[in-house]
Amino acid sequence: MQAVIYERFGDESVLLIREIPTPRAATGQVQVKVDIASLNPVDFKLRSGILRMLGRPRRPAITGKDFAGEITALGQDVQGYAVGQRVFGSVDPMCGDGSCAQFVSVSTDLIAPIPDAVSDEVAACLPVASGTALQTLVDIAHLRHGQSVLITGASGAVGASAVQLARSIGARITGVCGTANVDYVRSIGADHVIDYKVAGWQYIDERFDVIFDAAASTTFSGAKARLGPNGIYVNTMPRPALFLEALMARLSSRQRCVPFLLKTNSALLERLATLAADKVIVPHISEVIGLDQVASAQRRMREGKVHGKICVRVAA
């Protein structure tokens, strides 16, 4: 099969399309013919090597994490799935697996069925971006109707999912984005939008129940003045210093600091599928590319030139 791989850490130039063996479904796994993969910032962060502190990612590795496609084979002890069924999910890239490939073999703990009302493109956009938003606002922050939330990176894939989720909950939403995306963020549900190119949100005279720093634009120290007395700050880039801040906050304050680490499982994916089918979350797909364009797409993502999700159509 064809796949986009890298044999060493580095910039986009290390990505190559190669013919490699098709993975077989092991016990508890299904083999999926990938129709659509989607790209996330975690893909180029893994490829560059900056996430080595979180583990020892295997190389050579296939880039990409999220996918949607059709089951082509079942491993032993697999129940509840059938060949020909449409599914979506995420692979574990620390093991060298990746979604920018014609086939993946993945545990049933990391997939869920795609509802008839949801396209493969939409399904492939959900696991990392929308999963991060759902776990942050619902499972960690327990955001409630009437509470206030500030979301940085509100026009990005994670931030836009968070805005839409917060809207469905009935929270009061302040979104932070660049000038070009102010109207978009307002259109998906933000009550107030701050253009970070005009004014820094850290200096506004308001306090929030939740600050979801999806852009990792500051630290807990920089955000706590804008938190309510029982507020929670969540950052999507868990640097070592943030873990220390989280500990100090727990010992000295009722405010909380949470370094976010996504925990994907089938239950989370099923919740995302329902939200997508109900149009609560509607990903903005900026473009659909081929495997030969993955390297250039990752470069544009790293440079901050992508608004929304990039999908990769994989021809088997």
State the pLDDT confidence band at 281, using cuts at 50, 70 and 90: very high
Lowest mean pLDDT among 41-45, 70-74, 100-104, 271-275: 41-45
Average pLDDT over residues 255-284: 94
**DSSP one-letter code for 304:** T
Average pLDDT over residues 74-103: 93
Digit-coded pLDDT (tens) for 149-205? 999 999 999 999 999 999 999 999 999 999 999 999 999 999 999 999 898 898 888
Please give the pLDDT value at position 124.
98
What is the rounded CA–CA span in Å between residue 96 and residue 2? 15
Q: Is the pLDDT of residue 252 over 80?
A: no
Structure-token pair, residue 248: 């100090």
Please give the pLDDT value at position 57.
63
State the pLDDT confidence band at 292, using cuts at 50, 70 and 90: very high
- Residue in the structure block whose two tokens are 């992508």: 306
Mean pLDDT, the chain, rounded, equals 92
Structural domains for the chain: 2-113+284-313 (3.90.180.10), 128-259 (3.40.50.720)
Digit-coded pLDDT (tens) for 209-239? 999 999 988 888 889 999 999 999 999 887 7
Selected residue with higher pLDDT from 235 and 52 = 235
Please give the pLDDT value at position 51.
64
> Any idea how long the chain is?
316
Selected residue with higher pLDDT from 304 and 81 = 81
Please give the pLDDT value at position 54.
57
Selected residue with higher pLDDT from 54 and 47 = 47
Average pLDDT over residues 126-155: 97
State the pLDDT confidence band at 55, using cuts at 50, 70 and 90: low
Q: Is the pLDDT of residue 241 over 80?
A: no
What is the rounded CA–CA span in Å between residue 165 and residue 152? 14
Please give the pLDDT value at position 260.
82
Percent pLDDT > 90 in the chain is 73
For residues 11, 60, 62, 159, the Cα torsion angle rounded to the nearest 10 degrees is -50
**Torsions phi, psi of 206, nearest 5?**
-155, 150
pTM, full prediction: 0.93
**Torsions phi, psi of 234, nearest 5?**
-120, 130
